Amino acid sequence: MTETSQGSASPLSGAIGKRVTIRLREAGGGFRDIVGILQSENELINSKFQAISFSKDDIAIWREIKPLPDRAGTGSPLSLRIIELEKLSDTTWPATEIIEYGKWRLRISDGFTMRANSALPTGAGPIGEPPLPLADSVEHVIKIYREKGLTPTFTLPLPIYQELDEYLESQGWQVKVGAQFLIKDIDLNETDMSSQNDFEILDHPSEGWLGLQSDHRLEKLMQRYPARYGVIKSGESVIAVGRIATLGTWAMATRLFVDPSHRGKGLAKQLMLLLMAAAKEDGATKIGLQVDLENAAALALYDSMGFRFHHKYVYRVLEALEAN
pLDDT given at position 213: 95
pLDDT given at position 189: 66
2 vs 154, residue with greater confidence? 154
Q: How confident is the model at residue 49 (pLDDT cuts 50, 70, 90)?
A: confident
pLDDT given at position 288: 97
pLDDT in tens, 131-149: 999 999 999 999 999 999 9
CA distances from 152 to 83, 139, 146, 188, 197 (A): 21, 10, 7, 43, 43
User: Is the pLDDT reported for residue 5 higher than 70?
Assistant: no
Q: How confident is the model at residue 10 (pLDDT cuts 50, 70, 90)?
A: low
Mean pLDDT of 107-124: 94
Question: What single letter denotes the amino acid at residue 154?
Answer: F
pLDDT in tens, 164-201: 999 999 999 999 999 999 999 998 665 455 566 789 99
> Do the beta carbons of residue 153 and residue 112 sit within 8 Å?
no
CA distances from 139 to 7, 135, 321 (A): 73, 6, 16
User: Is the pLDDT reported for residue 7 higher than 80?
Assistant: no
pLDDT given at position 267: 94
User: Is the pLDDT reported for residue 283 higher than 90?
Assistant: yes
Quote the percentage of the chain above a pLDDT of 90: 75
Helices 296-304 and 267-281 sit at what angle, rounded to 10 degrees?
60
Report d(CA 183, CA 166) in Å as an integer: 26
pLDDT in tens, 81-98: 999 999 999 999 999 999
pLDDT given at position 254: 98
pLDDT given at position 173: 98
Mean pLDDT of 196-214: 93
Mean pLDDT of 314-324: 74
pLDDT given at position 14: 85
Mean pLDDT, the chain, as a whole number?
90
Nearest to 161 by CA among 123, 115, 197: 123
Mean pLDDT of 42-53: 84
User: Is the pLDDT reported for residue 271 higher than 70?
Assistant: yes
Nearest to 83 by CA among 185, 161, 167, 164: 161
Report d(CA 144, CA 151) in Å as an integer: 10
pLDDT given at position 65: 85
pLDDT given at position 48: 73
> Do the beta carbons of residue 232 and residue 197 sit within 8 Å?
yes
> Do the beta carbons of residue 87 and residue 162 sit within 8 Å?
no
Report d(CA 271, CA 251) in Å as an integer: 15
pLDDT given at position 19: 87
Report d(CA 87, CA 155) in Å as an integer: 12
